[in-house]
Amino acid sequence: MSGSQQGSGQGLGDLERLARGYALLNAVEHGGRAAVGPVMGKIMAERPDLRPRAREVAALVRRIVEEVNRLSPEEQRRLLEEEYSWLLEKRAQARRGSEEKTLPPLPGAEEGKVVTRFAPNPDFLIHLGNARPAILSYLYKEMYRGRMVLRFEDTDPRTKAPLPEAYKLIRDDLRWLGVEWDEEYIQSLRMKIYYEIARRLIERGGAYVDDRPGEEFRRYRSQGALDRYPPRLRSPEENLELWDRMLSGGFGEGEAVLRVKTDPRHPDPSVRDWVAFRIIDTDRHPHPIVGSRYVAWPTYNFAAAVDDHLMGVTHILRAKEHMQNTVKQKYLYQHLGWEYPTVIHFGRLKLEGFIMSKSLLKSLLEQGIGEGLDDPRFATIAGLRRRGITAEAIKRIIVEVGVKYTDASISYANLAAVNRSIVDEKAKRIMAVFNPVRLRVVNLPWEKREFTIPFHPNGKLGSRTITIEGPEATLLVSEADAERYMEPGALVRLMEAFNVEVLERRRGEVRARYHSLGVEEARRHRAAIIQWVHPARSTGLELARPEGLDLVRERGVAEEAAAGLTRGEIVQLVRIGFARVDALVPDEKGRTRLVSMVFAHE
């Protein structure tokens, strides 16, 4: 039965069934805890006729969500699979549709002849926005069985000084993203090639050395009179002499530039005779790779344009902010008789709530805000990885956005939803409590009992065994659960274990007695289900939650199984959310005493 058929009736029973199905689905997807908002959203999307009754529907949904949240994760999944299989199929179809989304064909592309490139500036790490051209360039290279070039554009040691460690870290990020390149170049090691091309350009009359003050050039440019600008009227021979003087250090910083001749009356003044080379005092601003060996440095537009031709790039995928650069570079190609590559410009990609500007991120680090280049508050690829976002989630988002010319804004909730669909089936469920409260349980009908608990409801990730001694035991539960569910007389189920009846609650402690073992009994009493930790079989837990520019750290206790996790592993803290293991801190005997995690999302 299809989803539309299932929800087509107008009766309250049909609506209840629809709400219960979506509440179960939401709970299974979020570690046993459904939320009212997403369930309401699903219902209203499927039944827009109910919008006038939104308040009534919301009350119904709240009641059903509360009922579903009292069930164990195993019971939630069983009911979903047995009674709402059509919803699971609907979810699977949506996921398949997302995964099968493909990119549009490249204009003028030929099988085996496409060459793309990704050209980062190693002045910082790549973030979600500039990972977009890397992923797209790789996917198109694969689509057409072509080649991809990785090129580090590092020819500005003054205003965009390269970070020595960034070259390796960018390579690491790309490999983690699954991006493979066929050739690699570093522009600062290609300076002699640029000098040779510049000399050829001068000989053809396509460039000239400008040794006049900048104010004079700007005056001629603003008047549309560059065709009368004295340096522009020099012969190639004169310009070659001045060019040699530039290369040998005969000019100081700011005293001379090499300009490419363009239309002196171009509608965009910045296009008119743009700068191809400038002098940089590398004694004051040494380059991390070539030191102070060179003083005449190519601008982005010159070096990128030359390399795109020499490296055989056929298709350039870059942000539309580079459209002006495309116009500029075509003049260079005309002078040299080259054919310009095909360019696909796309809009900016923004991750809502995150700073995407490299200059701002660097400024924050210089101010002491942040824990380094992979700070989980940043939208860098390294930061998202440390936070628990997978490479596959990033790739899916990039493919979903595609090569649209318009700007795109992605909410973190959207990225989290994609990520959740990827990690859910592979993430171990770990119980943890924060602000722990002692739960003293009496009248246990055993001296010792072992509880074998699977790490995942699907049973594919193994299990752990927790032993509880009787007839009395002390366990730990979270303060929030104690305050919400453990009033005297209440029946509560300890997840995957047994049911207790609360006798007394006071500050820092709850007293209870054993009630029963089975899930059915808990369901009959509509008992809340809460996670717990055995204090003698536990490890310390620190959870870092990125919240804007804050990194809130919570200390708690996790079950002993957390000590056996590995760094980088993504888990689901039961009823809390997904998190990535950031570090395992040993005690003096080498045993894990503290597991440090970064919160990813619910």
The whole-angstrom separation of Cα 560 and Cα 568 is 18
pLDDT above 60: residue 5: no
Six token digits for residue 132: 């977009």
The overall pTM is greater than 0.75? yes
Question: Average of pLDDT values for 295-303?
Answer: 98
Rounded mean pLDDT of the chain?
Answer: 92
Question: Average of pLDDT values for 516-541?
Answer: 93
Topology agreement, domain 102-189+304-420 and domain 191-298? no
- The answer to whether the beta carbons of residues 576 and 364 sit under 8 Å apart is no
Residue type, 158: R
* Least-confidence region, from 16-25, 104-113, 200-209: 16-25
580 SS3 class: strand
pLDDT at 467: 97
pLDDT above 70: residue 210: yes
* Least-confidence region, from 17-26, 73-82, 110-119, 485-494: 73-82
578 SS3 class: strand
pLDDT above 50: residue 4: no
Question: Average of pLDDT values for 210-223?
Answer: 96
The whole-angstrom separation of Cα 126 and Cα 120 is 8
Class of domain 102-189+304-420: alpha beta
- The answer to whether the beta carbons of residues 597 and 581 sit under 8 Å apart is yes
The strand pairing partners of 540, in sequence order, are 557, 594
pLDDT at 6: 35
Name residues whose C-beta falls within 8 Å of residue 105's C-beta, 6 or more positions apart in sequence: none
The whole-angstrom separation of Cα 11 and Cα 50 is 11
- Short-list 91, 68, 19, 100, CA closest to 424: 91
The whole-angstrom separation of Cα 36 and Cα 26 is 9
pLDDT at 435: 95
- Cα radius of gyration rounded to whole Å, the chain: 31
- The answer to whether the beta carbons of residues 385 and 444 sit under 8 Å apart is no
CATH architecture of residue range(s) 191-298: Alpha-Beta Complex (3.90)
Per DSSP, the residues of 513-530 read: EEEE--HHHHHHTT-EEE
pLDDT tens digits, one per residue of 409-439: 899 989 999 999 999 989 999 999 999 999 9
The whole-angstrom separation of Cα 232 and Cα 210 is 8
CA distances from 52 to 11, 57, 504, 539 (A): 15, 10, 45, 51
The whole-angstrom separation of Cα 307 and Cα 49 is 59
- Short-list 496, 490, 493, 486, CA closest to 449: 496
Is the omega angle on the peptide bond into residue 445 within 30 degrees of 0, that is, cis? no
Confidence of residue 3 (pLDDT cuts 50, 70, 90): very low
Largest CA distance in the chain: 102
pLDDT at 463: 95
Confidence of residue 13 (pLDDT cuts 50, 70, 90): low
Six token digits for residue 371: 């824990």
pLDDT tens digits, one per residue of 536-586: 999 999 999 998 888 999 999 999 999 999 999 999 999 999 999 999 999
The strand pairing partners of 238, in sequence order, are none
**For the chain, what percent of residues have pLDDT higher than 70?**
96
Residue type, 371: E
**Domain boundaries defined on the chain:** 3-99, 102-189+304-420, 191-298, 424-602
pLDDT tens digits, one per residue of 166-191: 999 999 999 999 999 999 999 999 99
Six token digits for residue 232: 């522009």
pLDDT at 16: 84
CA distances from 397 to 390, 416, 463 (A): 11, 10, 33
pLDDT above 90: residue 358: no
pLDDT at 96: 52
pLDDT tens digits, one per residue of 255-290: 999 999 999 999 999 999 999 999 999 999 999 999
pLDDT at 368: 84
The whole-angstrom separation of Cα 170 and Cα 127 is 10
Confidence of residue 12 (pLDDT cuts 50, 70, 90): low
The whole-angstrom separation of Cα 387 and Cα 551 is 12
Residue type, 65: V
pLDDT at 259: 98
- The answer to whether the beta carbons of residues 563 and 510 sit under 8 Å apart is no
* CATH code for the part of the protein at 424-602: 2.40.240.10
The whole-angstrom separation of Cα 555 and Cα 543 is 7
Give buried/exposed letters for 31-58 (b at 16+ CB in 10 A, else e): bbbbbbebbbebbeebbeebeeeeeebb
Query: Between these two residues, 248 and 5, which has the higher pLDDT value?
Result: 248
The whole-angstrom separation of Cα 356 and Cα 349 is 9
* Least-confidence region, from 72-76, 145-149, 331-335: 72-76
